[in-house]
C-alpha cells in the first residue's frame, strides 16, 4: 500500500477538488468526533487517513499525487443516539455529499443497515465497504470549444420531457454501445429527431446519481425514473458508455455541448427534497451517517423519526444552513461547470414549506433570487407534495414557472366531453392569468402539459379508461386512479376502425390544444409518435420495453402532424405572447375574442352552460400588445381556432364582429373540406375535432 503524504488542506471548497498536482478533501460534520478519509487501490485495498484539521465543522486535508479516478469515501466517528437524532456509524463507508462522480451500484442487503432485527435503536457493527459504491475524484478540465448557451426566452420554449435511457435504448440508428447513455442522446440520430420535431428544450428525468430500491430488486425491477437521489453533484453512472471512474462527467458535458450546438437547451429534473436513505429503517449511505440532524428534518418530539412531506421517508432540513449550502453549491455546479440551462424542481413545495403553505419568503427562495448564477437560469417548480395543503399551483414567486396541473385537467376534461368545462378551458388556453397575473408573472409562468412521465402516455390516454399496472408487482395499488382518460369505445388494443379513427383524432386534438395555447408547452417524449406503455400509468420501475421508445412502431402521420404544429407555433408570435391578453381594443381592435357556433360572442350565460361542448377562439395578430427583441411593434396573422368536443358534427357560422375577413383552413385534426371561407360563411367542424383558420384577407391597396 502506498504511504501517502498528507497536508492540512483547506475547508473550502467542500468535496474532492483536484488542482493538477493533488486533491483537497473536505467534509462537513458538526456532530463528528473523528473523520477518516478512505482511499481505495484498484485491488480494493482500503487506506484510512484521519482528518486532523477542522474549521467551521469542515474536516479537511490535501493529499498530493491523488488525482482523477481515485476512489474514496469517509468513515465518521460520533454518537449513535437515535433518540437525539444522531446516527453516526464508522462501520459504514459513506459517500461524499459533494462527490462529482460515483462508482458502482449499491448491492442491497443488511450490510447497509446500521441496526439489526428486533431493535431499531441498537447499533450493529457490520462493515459495508465491500458492497458500498465509492466516490470518485474527477478531472475538472474539459474542452467546451466554441459551445454557446442558446439562452432562449421562455415564451419561445417548446419543452420535450425525456428519459436519457428510454429515449435512446432502442433507436436503430444509434450504435448499440451508445444506446441508453449520454453519448446516445448526443448522437446525430437523436439530435436530428429533436431538431426535426422543432423542440428547443429537453427536460431530462433525473440524472443525479440515484439508488435502486431493494424492494424493487427483489421483484426483478429497478428505479427507472430515478427519483431516489444520493449524489447531488454526480451524473448517474449507469448512463455512461465510457465507465464510471469519472468518465460519466466528461460524457455528460459532451452531451450538453452537442445539444447546445444544435440550439437545444438542457433542463434537469432535480430531486432536492429527499434522499435515497429513506426513513429511520433505511440504509446508511451518506448524509445519515455524516450528520443526520443537520441534513434531515426530524420530528420535534420524536427525533428517531423523519418529518416526511415527500412520501419517500425523509425530507431535507432546509432550515439548516449547511443543507441550503449543499443545494446551492450543487445548483451552481450544474450551471457553471456542466453548462445546463435550468432546473425543474421535483416536489418543490417541500423545499420552501413552513407550516402547510409555501412560504414565498423562505430561505430557499431568498437564496435562489439573490444568487448571481442561479437567478439567471430557468426555474420550474412542481407545485405539489404530500404535505398538508400540498397543492400549491400559482403560489410560487416571480422568476418561477410551474407545472400547471390545472391546465392538464381542463384540457383532458374538455376533450373527453365533460360538462361545464368551456370556461375553465378558456382560462387555460390563454395562459392561466387567474393563477399567475396577480404577482406580476406572465404566461410563461405556466408550463402547460397534457401528459408527463408520471401518468398515461398520450396514446394510452385515449386508449384506456383504467390503469393497467400489473407489471409493477403491487397488485394495481400504485398509480393514479382518476386519470381523466377516455378509451374512445374500447379498452386497450382493438381493430375497430371507428375506435382507431377516434383515437387518432383525439391525439391530434390534445397536441394541437397544447401547442397553440399561451404559456410554455411541454411534450412528453414519444407522444408525437404514439408511444404506448400498454396502459401502465406509473412506469417508474419499468426499465424495459414497457417504457423505452419503440422507434420501429412510430406513428409517422402523427409525427408529421406534430412537426407542423410546432412549426406553426414557431412561425407565429400570436401563439406565444409574452404578455397576458388585455381583453380590450389594442390598435383599434380586440386582442382576443370568444364565439359560439352561431358566430356570436360568448356571454355570461354561455360560459355557465353545462351543455356547451364547443368554443371558438379569435386571436388578433394586430392586437399583440408587445414588441420584438429589437423593439419593433409585433404584428402577425390573425387566427380563428374552433374546438368541437361534441360527439356530432357542428356547423359554424364564421363571426363577423371582428372585421370583414377571409378565413382559410390552416390546420385540422380531422379531414375538413372547403379550405376558404368568408365572414358569415358556414363551416362544418367534424365531431371531436379542432380547426385552425388563418386570416388571408388581401391587403387593401388604398391603405
Alpha carbons 558 and 566: distance in angstroms, whole number = 12
In the Cβ-directed half-sphere of 254, how many Cα atoms lie within 13 Å?
Answer: 16
What's the maximum distance between 2 C-alpha atoms anywhere in the chain?
92
The C-alpha angle with vertex 54 and arms to 50 and 56, in degrees rounded to 5, equals 150
Q: How far apart are CA 125 and CA 380, in angstroms?
A: 43
Give CA–CA dist 517/528, Å, rounded.
17
Q: 346 catalytic, yes or no?
A: yes
Cell of 612: 356547451
Contacts of 339 (CB under 8 A, 6+ apart): 144, 147, 149, 253, 256, 257, 260, 266
Return the ∠ at Cα 257 (arms to 255 and 259), rounded to 5°.
Answer: 70
With beta carbons less than 8 A apart as the criterion, state whether 520 and 447 touch: yes
Q: Which of 382, 406, 591, 666 is catalytic?
A: 382
Q: Which residues pair with 692 in a beta bridge?
A: 641, 667
Residue 135 belongs to what H/E stretch? Answer: strand 134-136
DSSP code for 587 = T
Sequence-distant (≥ 6) Cβ neighbours of residue 539 within 8 angstroms: 224, 225, 453, 472, 533, 546, 547
What is the end-to-end Cα distance of the chain in Å, rounded?
Answer: 89
Look-up of cell digits 429503517? 281
Active site residue 382: yes
CA distance 633 to 335: 34
* Residues near 600 by beta carbon (within 8 Å), at least 6 away in sequence: 655, 657
Residue 624's alpha-carbon distances to 443, 601, 618, in angstroms, are 14, 20, 13
CA dihedral 528, 550, 542, 406 (to 10 degrees): 10
| Residue in 222, 225, 226 with CA at minimum distance from that of residue 209 | 226
Encode 119-143: b = buried (16+ Cβ within 10 Å), e = exposed.
eeeebeebebbebbbbbbbbbeebe
The catalytically annotated residue of 346, 406, 528, 695 is 346
Residues designated as active site: 346, 382
Amino acid at each position: 500500500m502506498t504511504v501517502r503524504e498528507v497536508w492540512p488542506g483547506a475547508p473550502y471548497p467542500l468535496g474532492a477538488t483536484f488542482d493538477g498536482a493533488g486533491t483537497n478533501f473536505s467534509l462537513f460534520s458538526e456532530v463528528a468526533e473523528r473523520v477518516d478519509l478512505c482511499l481505495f487501490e484498484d485491488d480494493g485495498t482500503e487506506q484510512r487517513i484521519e482528518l486532523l484539521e477542522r474549521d467551521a465543522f469542515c474536516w479537511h486535508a490535501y493529499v498530493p499525487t491523488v488525482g482523477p479516478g481515485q476512489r474514496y469515501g469517509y468513515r465518521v466517528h460520533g454518537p449513535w443516539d437515535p433518540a437525539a437524532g444522531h446516527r453516526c456509524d464508522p462501520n459504514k463507508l459513506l459517500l461524499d455529499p459533494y462527490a462529482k462522480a460515483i462508482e458502482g451500484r449499491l448491492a442491497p442487503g443488511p450490510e447497509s443497515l446500521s441496526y439489526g432485527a428486533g431493535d431499531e435503536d441498537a447499533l450493529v457493527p457490520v462493515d459495508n465497504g465491500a458492497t458500498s459504491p465509492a466516490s470518485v475524484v474527477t478531472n475538472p478540465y474539459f474542452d467546451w470549444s466554441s459551445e454557446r448557451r442558446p439562452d432562449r426566452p421562455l415564451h419561445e420554449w417548446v419543452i420535450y420531457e425525456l428519459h436519457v435511457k428510454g429515449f435512446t435504448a432502442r433507436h436503430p440508428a444509434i450504435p448499440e454501445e451508445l444506446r441508453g447513455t449520454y453519448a446516445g442522446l448526443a448522437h446525430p440520430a437523436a439530435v436530428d429527431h429533436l431538431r426535426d420535431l422543432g423542440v428547443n428544450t429537453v427536460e431530462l428525468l433525473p440524472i443525479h446519481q440515484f439508488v435502486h430500491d431493494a424492494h424493487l430488486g427483489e421483484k426483478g425491477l429497478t428505479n427507472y425514473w430515478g427519483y431516489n437521489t444520493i449524489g447531488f453533484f454526480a451524473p448517474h453512472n449507469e448512463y455512461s458508455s465510457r465507465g464510471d471512474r469519472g468518465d460519466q462527467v466528461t460524457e455528460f458535458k459532451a452531451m450538453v455541448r452537442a445539444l447546445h450546438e444544435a440550439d437545444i437547451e438542457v433542463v434537469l429534473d432535480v430531486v432536492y427534497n429527499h434522499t435515497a436513505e429513506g426513513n429511520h429503517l433505511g440504509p446508511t449511505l451518506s448524509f445519515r451517517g455524516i450528520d443526520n440532524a443537520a441534513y434531515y428534518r426530524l420530528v420535534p418530539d420524536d427525533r428517531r423519526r423523519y418529518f416526511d412531506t415527500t412520501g419517500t421517508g425523509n425530507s431535507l432540513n432546509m432550515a439548516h444552513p449547511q443543507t441550503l449550502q449543499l443545494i446551492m453549491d450543487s445548483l451552481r455546479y450544474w450551471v457553471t461547470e456542466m453548462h445546463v440551462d435550468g432546473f425543474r424542481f421535483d416536489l418543490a413545495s417541500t423545499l420552501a414549506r413552513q407550516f402547510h403553505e409555501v412560504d414565498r419568503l423562505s430561505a430557499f427562495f431568498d437564496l435562489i433570487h439573490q444568487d448571481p448564477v442561479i437567478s439567471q437560469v430557468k426555474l420550474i417548480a412542481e407545485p405539489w407534495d404530500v404535505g398538508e395543503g400540498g397543492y400549491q399551483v400559482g403560489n410560487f414567486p416571480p422568476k418561477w414557472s410551474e407545472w400547471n396541473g390545472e391546465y392538464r385537467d381542463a384540457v383532458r376534461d374538455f376533450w373527453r366531453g365533460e360538462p361545464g368545462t368551456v370556461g375553465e378551458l378558456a382560462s387555460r388556453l390563454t395562459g392561466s392569468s387567474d393563477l399567475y397575473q396577480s404577482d406580476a408573472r406572465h404566461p410563461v409562468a405556466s408550463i402547460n402539459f397534457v401528459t408527463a412521465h408520471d401518468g398515461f402516455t398520450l396514446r394510452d390516454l385515449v386508449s384506456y379508461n383504467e390503469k393497467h399496472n400489473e407489471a409493477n408487482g403491487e397488485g394495481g395499488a400504485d398509480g393514479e386512479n382518476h386519470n381523466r382518460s377516455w378509451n374512445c369505445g374500447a379498452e386497450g388494443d382493438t381493430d375497430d376502425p371507428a375506435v382507431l379513427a377516434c383515437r387518432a383524432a383525439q391525439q391530434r386534438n390534445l397536441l394541437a390544444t397544447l401547442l397553440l395555447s399561451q404559456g410554455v408547452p411541454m411534450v412528453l417524449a414519444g407522444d408525437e409518435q404514439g408511444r404506448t406503455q400498454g396502459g401502465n400509468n406509473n412506469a417508474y420501475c419499468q426499465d424495459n420495453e414497457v417504457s423505452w421508445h419503440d422507434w420501429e412502431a412510430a406513428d409517422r402521420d402523427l409525427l408529421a402532424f406534430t412537426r407542423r404544429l410546432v412549426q406553426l407555433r414557431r412561425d407565429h408570435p400570436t401563439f406565444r405572447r409574452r404578455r397576458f391578453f388585455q381583453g380590450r381594443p389594442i390598435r383599434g381592435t380586440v386582442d382576443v375574442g370568444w364565439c359560439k357556433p352561431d358566430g356570436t360572442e360568448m356571454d355570461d350565460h354561455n360560459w355557465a352552460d353545462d351543455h356547451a361542448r364547443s368554443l371558438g377562439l379569435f386571436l388578433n395578430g394586430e392586437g399583440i400588445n408587445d414588441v420584438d427583441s429589437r423593439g419593433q411593434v409585433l404584428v402577425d396573422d390573425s387566427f380563428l381556432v374552433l374546438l368541437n368536443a361534441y360527439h356530432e358534427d357542428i356547423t359554424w357560422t364564421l363571426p363577423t364582429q371582428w372585421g370583414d375577413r377571409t378565413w382559410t383552413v390552416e390546420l385540422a385534426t380531422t379531414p375538413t373540406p372547403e379550405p376558404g371561407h368568408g365572414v358569415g360563411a358556414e363551416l362544418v367542424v367534424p365531431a371531436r375535432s379542432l380547426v385552425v383558420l388563418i386570416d388571408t384577407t388581401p391587403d387593401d391597396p388604398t391603405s
